[in-house]
């Protein structure tokens, strides 16, 4: 792996996903991919491209449009000795299969007194910005972070996409990987071969001294732009990518807040009831004395995701809206 | 009637049915006495289905069960002591007291759990069947479900996928005539759930679910087809639960008549089996009574084991959430 790290390549996020799945299928003979259009079409966003040719129809399965059947297949196969990768094309479709996710996949181990092991990796796509409207654009990570038994990761870069998917597949728990459709073309360094990123550890992407932004998913990139803009106000922003939402690495955020004394949380999901509220609560519980300002939150307004590009552009948080909220929070 | 069934198999089916009956009658009394917490869905009356199917299976064949799952686990080889301990919420239970009646399970016996969600099992059974095929075994998976669950979307998705992939799965519908308290005529426009099989491209078979031998024979054919790679079957067993959807009572209810209950009790699966065994000179009335007595003692020992078992420690609350 060290050798691989010496010769970094640049790849788009979509190819990093593809490489990760390939690594997993090579690493585990009992692993396979099931989902809608994953085999013949290579996935609707192309991230399974070439895997049918490479691994054959015994490892890559197209399914009917049956989300509950797909997740249930993953549960039953995992409980009986397989390590499946199940593809839920859009995160919005969780509504079709929430019983299998919430009542079967998440709970089976506990209900059975620890006697079932469910190494299921579920890849799913979220995020707004492509004019796919209200049913194909949501960020519903808060739904699944609320379910004990699941782990939830949210890769923001090509490097993270590959490493977190491999880590998810190696983990003996069900792990839901929340991918982002607007990040598919993002380029970044991706080592060849297999590597993992520890689940439950946040990544301090940018060091700073007097302001912290925790940014989920694609919002990381907007937060980094915002951090540059905030420099002109004398703000030196630390940016944290949680990478894993469940289990959440509270300690890294607490350590940052002890240093910077101010925190803003940014996510693409609707602000009300979003995951940011949980982070804010944890920080006020654990770092109240270190805070010099209320914890701020940036998220989508309380409406479904709109279709029109004109509306969607103001719906999704951006570097500008992050800067605006930061200035309000900091009294600038 | 394809081939002669051995005395050994008939006696095996009989004993499994008696084990379920006495366990369930005892569990019902304990629940009424307030000794078993939570909800109990008793399998009494439906024993022929679980036992007629299960004698064909090994521990490597998987089953998914329902909220009415005690009978399935007993028929699959579940032990009374650990089952009662689970129902009592004790740490010695199959699920360490974390699942209870509605989630009692034992993966070592190939039992993927009772399931509190109606229709929760069929997709999981498809996954187990997929796994059997993927791992190139000759094992099958059985999904037990009710007439009520046949109206769930999950059943539809599972049946379609099993047929599409020709998976070694048998969908065993325990049609007891009621979805909870709603009679079948008020929850679906068909009389035979097996009619739905042709819509998925699999055979649909109807048997008398009170006749364990009929179930045994029909299940045997379906299981053989599955083991030979010929795909799934929908096997509908017409049966009846003597007690209510949940709890005991059963008689004097507004949603069904006592006459109806008496009619079905007149076709009791254990009585019918014992009459058959006596007629064929395999098991005398006296020998049958001895089996009931022996099982009663085993059940009592199971209750004593459960009652003397420790409650789970507070420390165990957060164990087993994650691997």
CA B211 – CA B249 distance, rounded (Å): 24
Paired tokens of B119: 């229709």
Tokens found for residue B152 = 């769930």
Tell me what pLDDT residue B3 has. 64
Could you tell me if the ipTM is greater than 0.90? Answer: yes
Taking the Cβ of residue A111 and every Cβ of chain B, the question of whether any pair is shorter than 8 Å is answered with yes
DSSP code for B281: T
Do residues A194 and A20 lie in contact, with contact meaning Cβ atoms separated by under 8 Å?
no
Query: Which residues 35-64 in chain B show a CB within 8 A of chain A?
Result: 62, 64
Please check whether residue B120 touches A, CB under 8 A. yes
Alpha helices (H) in B165-268, listed in sequence order: 197-200, 212-227, 258-265
Work out the average pLDDT over A261-284: 98
pLDDT for B250 equals 87
pLDDT tens column, B45-66: 999 999 999 999 999 999 999 9
Tell me which residues of A are annotated as active site.
Answer: 67, 136
Put simply, the answer to whether A173 touches B322 (Cβ < 8 Å) is yes
Looking at the domain assignment, is residue A198 inside a domain? no
Neighbouring-strand partners of residue B179: B182
Q: At what angle do helices B269-279 and B212-227 cross, to 10 degrees?
A: 90
Query: How many whole angstroms separate alpha carbon B52 and alpha carbon B56?
Result: 8
Q: Could you tell me if residue A61 is inside a domain?
A: yes
H or E element at residue A245: strand A244-246
Kindly state whether residues A162 and A301 are assigned to the same domain.
Answer: no
Give yes or no: residues A184 and A296 share one domain.
Answer: no
Under 8 Å between Cβ of A253 and A213: no
Q: What is the pLDDT of residue B179?
A: 95
Q: Rounded to a whole number, what is the distance in Å from the CA of B114 to chain A's nearest CA?
A: 10
Start-to-end CA distance of chain A, whole Å, equals: 46
At residue A189, the 3 state secondary structure works out as strand
Taking the C-alpha atoms of residue B44 and residue B46, their distance in angstroms, rounded to an integer, is 6
Domain C-terminal end among A166, A190, A214: A190
What does the mean pLDDT of chain A come to? 97
- Judged against a pLDDT cut of 70, whether residue A211 lies above it is answered with yes
For chain A, give the number of residues.
332
Q: Is residue A197 part of a domain?
A: no
A169 touches chain B (CB under 8 A): no
* Inter-helix orientation angle B47-54/B212-227, to 10°: 40
Q: What is the pLDDT of residues A104-148, one digit of tens each?
A: 999 999 999 999 999 999 999 999 999 999 999 999 999 999 999
Dist. CA A265–CA A282, nearest whole Å: 12
Q: What is the mean pLDDT of chain B?
A: 97
Determine, yes or no, domain membership for B318. Answer: no
> Does residue A150 sit in the same domain as residue A40?
yes
CATH of the domain at A116: 3.40.50.970
Query: Which of A189, A185, A181, A139 has its CA nearest to residue A160?
Result: A189
Q: pLDDT category, B1, cuts 50, 70, 90?
A: very low
In the A/B pair of chains, how many CB contacts fall below 8 A? 148
pLDDT value of position B176: 97
From the list A72, A89, A84, the residue with the least C-alpha distance to A36 is A89
Distance CA A237, CA A227 (A): 5
**pLDDT at position A1, please?**
45
pLDDT of residue B88: 98
| Helix (H), strand (E) at residue B19 | helix B7-32
Kindly state whether residue B319 falls inside one of the protein's structural domains: no
DSSP 8-state code for residue B68: S
Q: Are residues A208 and A182 in the same domain?
A: no
Q: What is the pLDDT of residue A8?
A: 75
In A185-267, alpha helices (H): 219-230, 250-260
Using the predicted structure, report yes or no on whether residue B308 has a pLDDT greater than 60.
yes
Rounded Cα–Cα distance for residues B100 and B111 (Å): 15
All residues of chain A having their beta carbon less than 8 Å from the beta carbon of residue B130 are 73, 76-77, 82
Beta-bridged to residue B305, according to DSSP, are none
Q: Residue B46: give the domain boundaries.
A: 7-306
Q: Alpha-carbon dihedral of residues B296, B300, B301, B306, nearest 10 degrees?
A: 140
Which tokens in the block code for residue B136? 């190139």
Alpha helices, H only, chain A: 2-6, 13-27, 51-55, 67-79, 94-98, 108-111, 141-145, 158-170, 219-230, 250-260, 275-287, 309-315, 319-330
Residues on chain A touching B62 (C-beta within 8 angstroms) = 76, 80
Which string of DSSP letters, residue by residue, matches A80-110? TT---EEEES-GGGHHHHHIIIIIIITTHHH
The SS3 assignment for B50 reads helix
The pLDDT, as a whole number, for residue A7 is: 66
Predicted confidence (pLDDT) per residue in B68-118, tens digit: 999 999 999 999 999 999 999 999 999 999 999 999 999 999 999 999 999
On whether both A152 and A218 belong to a single domain, the answer is no
Q: Give the integer Cα–Cα distance in Å for B218 and B196.
A: 17
Last residue of a domain, one of A150, A166, A190: A190
User: Measured between alpha carbons, how far is B153 from A69 in angstroms, rounded to an integer?
Assistant: 9
Instruction: Judge if A301 and A171 occupy the same domain.
Output: no
Q: Are residues A172 and A275 in the same domain?
A: no
pLDDT at A5: 52
Residue B11 · residue B41 · CB < 8 Å: no
- The pair phi, psi for residue B178, each rounded to 5°, is -140, 135
Residues A186 and A208 in one domain: no
Structural Rg of chain A based on CA atoms: 20
Instruction: Give the residue from A302, A293, A268 showing the smallest Cα distance to A126.
Output: A268
Compute CA A315 distance to the chain's CA centroid, rounded to the nearest angstrom: 20
Query: For residue B174, what is the domain's CATH number?
Result: 3.40.50.970
> Is residue B151 a part of any domain in this protein?
yes
Mean pLDDT of A150-154: 98
Residues of B within 8 A of A58 (CB-CB) are 134
Q: What is the mean pLDDT of residues A157-174?
A: 98
Number of domains in chain A: 2
* CA pair distance B124, A100, nearest whole angstrom: 9
pLDDT tens per residue across span B258-297 = 999 999 999 999 999 999 999 999 999 999 999 999 999 9
Which of A113, A171, A172 is nearest residue B95 as measured by Cβ atoms?
A113
Provide the domain limits for residue A304: 203-330
Which one of A127, A160, A190 terminates a domain? A190
How many structural domains comprise chain B? 1
Are A239 and A120 part of one and the same domain? no
Measure CA of the first residue to CA of the last residue in chain B; give whole Å: 48
Is residue B199 in a domain? yes
């Amino acid at each position: 792996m060290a050798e691989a790290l010496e010769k970094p390549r640049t790849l788009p996020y979509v190819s990093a996903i593809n490489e990760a799945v390939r690594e997993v299928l090579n690493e585990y003979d009992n692993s396979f991919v099931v989902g809608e259009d994953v085999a013949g079409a290579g996935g609707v966003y192309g991230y399974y491209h070439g895997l049918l040719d490479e691994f054959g129809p015994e490892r890559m399965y197209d399914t009917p449009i049956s989300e509950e059947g797909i997740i249930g297949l993953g549960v039953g196969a995992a409980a009986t000795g397989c390590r499946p990768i199940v593809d839920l094309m859009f995160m919005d479709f969780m509504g079709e299969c929430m019983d299998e996710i919430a009542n079967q996949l998440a709970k089976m181990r506990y209900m059975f007194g620890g006697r079932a092991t469910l190494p299921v990796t579920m890849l799913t796509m979220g995020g707004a910005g492509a004019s796919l409207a209200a049913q194909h654009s949501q960020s519903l990570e808060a739904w699944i972070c609320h379910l004990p038994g699941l782990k939830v990761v949210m890769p923001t870069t090509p490097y993270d996409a590959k490493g977190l998917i491999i880590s998810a597949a190696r983990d003996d728990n069900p792990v839901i990987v929340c991918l982002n459709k607007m990040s598919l073309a993002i380029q970044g360094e991706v080592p060849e071969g297999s590597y993992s990123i520890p689940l439950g550890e946040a990544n301090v992407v940018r060091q700073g001294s007097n302001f912290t932004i925790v940014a989920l998913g694609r919002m990381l990139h907007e937060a980094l732009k915002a951090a540059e803009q905030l420099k002109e106000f004398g703000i030196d922003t630390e940016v944290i990518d949680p990478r894993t939402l469940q289990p959440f690495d509270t300690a890294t955020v607490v350590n940052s807040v002890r240093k910077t004394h101010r925190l803003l949380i940014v996510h693409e999901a609707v602000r009300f009831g979003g995951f940011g509220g949980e982070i804010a609560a944890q920080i006020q519980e654990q770092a109240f004395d270190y805070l010099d300002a209320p914890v701020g939150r940036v998220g989508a307004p309380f409406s479904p995701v709109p279709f029109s590009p004109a509306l969607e552009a103001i719906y999704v948080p951006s570097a500008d809206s992050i800067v605006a909220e930061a200035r309000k929070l900091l009294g600038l | 009637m394809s081939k002669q069934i051995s005395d050994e198999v008939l006696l095996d089916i009989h004993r499994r049915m008696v084990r379920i009956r006495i366990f369930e009658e005892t569990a019902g009394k304990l629940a009424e006495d307030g000794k078993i917490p939570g909800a109990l869905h008793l399998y009494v009356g439906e024993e022929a289905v679980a036992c007629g199917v299960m004698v064909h299976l090994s521990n490597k064949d998987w089953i998914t069960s329902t909220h009415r799952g005690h009978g399935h686990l007993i028929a699959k080889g579940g032990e009374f002591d650990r089952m009662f301990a689970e129902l009592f919420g004790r740490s010695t239970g199959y699920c360490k007291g974390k699942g209870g009646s509605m989630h009692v399970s034992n993966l070592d016996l190939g039992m993927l759990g009772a399931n509190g969600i109606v229709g929760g099992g069929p997709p999981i059974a498809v996954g187990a069947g997929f796994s059997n095929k993927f791992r190139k075994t000759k094992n099958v998976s059985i999904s037990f479900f009710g007439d009520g669950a046949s109206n769930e979307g999950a059943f539809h998705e599972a049946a379609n996928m099993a047929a599409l992939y020709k998976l070694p799965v048998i969908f065993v519908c325990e049609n007891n005539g009621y979805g909870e308290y709603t009679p079948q005529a008020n929850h679906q426009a068909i009389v035979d759930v097996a009619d739905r099989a042709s819509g998925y491209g699999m055979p649909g078979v109807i048997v008398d679910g009170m006749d364990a031998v009929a179930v045994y024979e029909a299940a045997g054919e379906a299981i053989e087809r599955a083991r030979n790679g010929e795909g799934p079957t929908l096997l509908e067993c017409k049966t009846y639960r003597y007690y209510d959807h949940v709890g005991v009572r059963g008689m004097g209810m507004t949603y069904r008549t006592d006459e109806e209950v008496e009619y079905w009790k007149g076709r009791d699966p254990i009585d019918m089996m014992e009459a058959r065994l006596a007629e064929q000179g395999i098991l005398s009335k006296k020998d049958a009574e001895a089996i009931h007595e022996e099982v009663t003692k085993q059940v009592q020992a199971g209750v004593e084991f459960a009652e003397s078992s420790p409650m789970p420690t507070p420390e165990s609350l957060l164990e087993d959430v994650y691997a």
